[in-house]
């Protein structure tokens, strides 16, 4: 059985709709808990797929979260070796930083909610092709510069760098492709303070938008993952 290690930064942000697709592709999933587990103890070359999940911290907050140093070293080693790696939200920011790019607040704007991506030409010929014009979940206040050698795949009007590839084995997604309608009920609790701090944003509004958009994304997200895995074969 192949191994997928998922780095989890907060308990309710998990692999979501990716889980079943990974099982169908013959991957056993192991979660590594940031702040608790030792990244240096991982046998990185033995990991067939690394997925770095999201979280409410900044990719640049090393003083507050010392584990970021060892996490970044793990990510950089995989990227430089060309081993399959996917980063989601914070995970994409950490990938960008590991590749030498800057991560920083997105002009004081939090992009939270559902909206469609604008795919680049490269994006329309990438695993993201099925998401062209499809509402996806955004939940971030930071952004990053495009790493040197990376290819931009998608943007929104608020955040230019929404997705990038780096070679064939690395995919960074600022948005949450893995989110499910049921799983987001935990987000509405866990991120209650952040939701309350954004003018005009409420849990009922997010829930209503999720009711309209989540099912479509749950259908397409496994296709995105499947296309990425196929490219690795």
Task: Name, in order, each residue with C-beta under 8 angstroms of 200's C-beta and a sequence gap of 6 or more.
Answer: none
The residues, ordered by sequence, that sit 6+ positions from 193 with a Cβ below 8 Å of its Cβ are none
Alpha helix segments (H runs only) across 1-102: 18-24, 67-81, 90-98
Structure confidence by residue, pLDDT tens digits, 204-218? 999 999 999 999 999
- Classify residue 155 by burial, with Cβ atoms within 10 Å: 0-12, 13-18, 19+: middle
> What is the Cα–Cα distance from 232 to 192, expressed in whole angstroms?
38
pLDDT in the model for residue 232: 77
Domain coordinates of the chain in residue numbers?
Answer: 2-232
Full-model pTM: 0.97
Separation of alpha carbons 125 and 121, rounded Å? 7
Alpha-carbon span 98 to 212, nearest angstrom: 36
Contacts of 76 (CB under 8 A, 6+ apart): 98, 99
* CATH level 3 topology of 2-232: Rossmann fold (3.40.50)
Using DSSP's 3-state secondary structure scheme, residue 144 falls into strand
pLDDT at 233: 67
Tokens of 131: 């998401």
Nearest partner of 59 among 105, 15, 109, judged by Cα:
105
Which pLDDT tens digit goes with each residue over 97-153? 999 999 999 998 999 999 999 999 999 999 999 999 999 999 999 999 999 999 999
Whether residue 23 is predicted with pLDDT greater than 70 in this model: the reply is yes
**Neighbour-count burial for 181-217, b at 16+ CB within 10 Å, e otherwise:** bebbeebbeebeeebeeeeeeeeeebeebbeebbeeb
Collapsed DSSP state (helix, strand, coil) of residue 26: coil
Cβ partners under 8 Å of residue 194, min gap 6: 56, 110, 112
Integer Cα distance of 191 and 195 in angstroms: 6
32-71: pLDDT as tens digits: 999 999 999 999 999 999 999 999 999 999 999 999 999 9
Q: Which residue has the tokens 């971030």?
A: 140
């Amino acid at each position: 059985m192949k191994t997928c290690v998922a780095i989890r930064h907060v308990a309710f942000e998990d692999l979501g709709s990716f889980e079943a697709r990974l099982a169908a592709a013959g991957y056993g999933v192991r979660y590594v808990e940031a702040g608790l587990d030792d990244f240096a103890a991982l046998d990185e070359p033995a990991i067939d797929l690394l997925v770095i999940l999201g979280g409410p911290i900044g990719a640049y907050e090393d003083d507050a979260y010392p584990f970021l140093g060892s996490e970044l070293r793990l990510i950089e080693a995989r990227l430089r070796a060309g081993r399959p790696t996917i980063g989601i939200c914070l995970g994409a920011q950490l990938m960008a930083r590991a590749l030498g790019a800057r991560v920083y607040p997105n002009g004081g704007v939090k992009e939270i909610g559902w909206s469609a991506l604008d795919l680049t030409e490269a994006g329309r010929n990438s695993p993201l092709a099925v998401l062209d014009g499809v509402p996806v979940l955004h939940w971030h206040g930071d952004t990053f510069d495009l790493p040197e050698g990376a290819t931009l795949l998608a943007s929104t009007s608020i955040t230019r760098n929404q997705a990038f590839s780096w070679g064939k084995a690395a995919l960074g997604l600022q948005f949450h492709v893995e989110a499910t309608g049921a799983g987001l009920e935990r987000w509405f609790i866990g991120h209650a303070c952040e939701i309350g701090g954004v003018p005009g944003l409420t849990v009922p509004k997010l829930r209503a938008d999720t009711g309209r958009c989540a099912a479509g994304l749950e259908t397409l997200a496994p296709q995105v993952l499947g296309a990425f895995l196929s490219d690795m074969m």
